[in-house]
Structure 1
Amino acid sequence: MTQRLLTTIGFDADDTLWQNEQFYRLTEQQFTELLAEYAESETISRGLLEAEKRNLRHYGFGIKGFTLSMIETAIEITQGEVPTTVIAQILDIGRDLLAHPVETLPHVRETLEALAGNYLLVLITKGDLFDQERKLAQSGLGDFFDAVEIVSDKNASTYRRIFAKVGGGPERAMMVGNSLKSDIVPALAAGSFGVFVPHELTWTLEHVEEPTEAPRFRKIGHLGELRGVIEKLG
């Protein structure tokens, strides 16, 4: 009997299954408004991005690190003169971000329903453990997944480890996500298929060139097209 080519499908969460980046953008807008008397919004946003870059190795990905980066940026922009009332407001908008309702993206539920039971489905997401668990619970999608992996970062070794543990190894696995840098390029490097589902908003630090020459790279317009890609693999 011919061995099945694909046994396992990994899904990113933020901006693949549900909205995420748009809420960060709204929070950043609130943040720049808080500091409007000290600098232009472009200057504040640029300073925040630099703080996020510096702090990734300390705080990792997620809302808590983002909130700490906002506080650090406020201190820098005001040259240490930021009022305590502004710090309190930054903490408030950070908490609001943590409590934001989950908005599932189009075609997600029907796609997972069609694939569940036929393939091993694995949620592979990075970020704060508490926040990712909250969003998964609120999404109502948890029962579709055979395994959930919340990781500090995504690289080729991450996918090799997960797909070796769940399913038939990376060569018989597929990773689906909106981030070329985190979801697609490292999955391809691990030997898996990588299906890129672009989102209209993607964090600047997740941008890289599309690996169009990679034989296992695929790109779709929305998650509803995923089943067609899988069917063509046989």
Structure 2
Amino acid sequence: MTTFAKHPSALIHLTLTFVLILFLTSCSEIIDGSQIDNSLENIEEVSLIDGADNITVTVNKGEESYFILDIQNISGQFYHLGEARLGWCIDWQTPIDSNGGVYPGVKAYSTLGVQSWSRINYILNHIGELRTLFTDASYREIQLVIWSLRGNPEFNLDEVNLEDLPPEFRENGNPLFSRDLVRDILNYVDEKHSKWSYSEGDYYAVILETPADVQTLITVVQ
């Protein structure tokens, strides 16, 4: 009777065949599963703005928007950003000094044409309309909508604890916003944004890359 001991090459061939089958099976499971999708979900096609790789941002509290931003040391196309700008944030879990906090060395990135920002850019172009339709909406509801749409870090309006939100969103243990109103705005944006496309002169978000331990900011340009 033939044995593998007498034919070691046959044993090697069988072992290699078995390893190859395991490799192909593993690859198939990864490709067919969600691992690849999950590894790509945070990649965005934003682009660094020329002349905006070493700017200084001063942050103050806003009334019409979450923040009012003063941007300095910017040149090129957006040199005019030094005026007071409406500002929002996309990281609800990280603090920021909004009482005149100064952040140097910030980089600015354009979201123009980036699909994952289309809903937020729709909002930035229709804030006046939203406030006419949803008359009780303050900057808080708009900011909560932006957090809900970003999803990085994950934000679930129905599950977030009030005490985990920044202090501007609560008073004496009570919310200073309407969850129902946030849901209504989200539903409206979800219904309307797909019928909107960017045209020259429209607004879009510019991401301001602050230090890792500071809220990531956005402002609005045309």
Alignment TM-score > 0.5, same fold? no
Shorter-normalised TM-score: what interval? under 0.3
Q: TM-score under structure 1 normalisation? A: 0.24
- The structure in which a higher percent of residues are strand is 2
Report which of the two structures shows the higher radius of gyration computed on alpha carbons.
2
